[in-house]
Amino acid sequence: MRTKRAMPIRTCVGCGSRESQSQLMRFTLGPEGALVPGRGEGRGGYLHPQRRCVRAFTAARSGFVRSLRVVVSRETRERYATLLEPSMTLWA
C-alpha cells in the first residue's frame, strides 16, 4: 500500500483551526509592514477565504501572527481586510 504524502497543515489566523494549506489563502508581510496576499517571499500567514475569518482576524485583540512571528497592528489588519473586500463578494 502506498503511503499518501501528508498535506501541509496550516492554522487560520482568523478562526484558529488547522486546515490543509490548499484550503487557505496565504499572505506575507510586505515591505513597510503591510500584509500582502499571495505566495510572496518569506514567512506566510494563512486565512480561510471566508468573511468571518477575515473579520475575526481584524477584530482580534492581539494581532500576533505566530507564523510570521510579529504583531500586526489593527490598522494594518483593517487595511488588509479592505484590500480583500472586492474578492470577498465571492466568498461564503
- Give contact residues for Zn ion (rule: CB under 5 A): 12, 14-15, 48, 53
Neighbours of 25 (CB within 10 A): 20
Find the shortest distance in angstroms from Cβ 64 to Zn ion: 16
Find the shortest distance in angstroms from Cβ 88 to Zn ion: 14
Find the shortest distance in angstroms from Cβ 12 to Zn ion: 3
- Cβ(41)–Cβ(68) below 8 Å: no
Closest to Zn ion by CB, 24 or 29: 24
Closest to Zn ion by CB, 19 or 34: 19
Q: How far apart are CA 41 and CA 50, in angstroms?
A: 23
Closest to Zn ion by CB, 34 or 56: 56
CA distances from 47 to 5, 34, 55, 67, 70 (A): 23, 16, 10, 12, 16
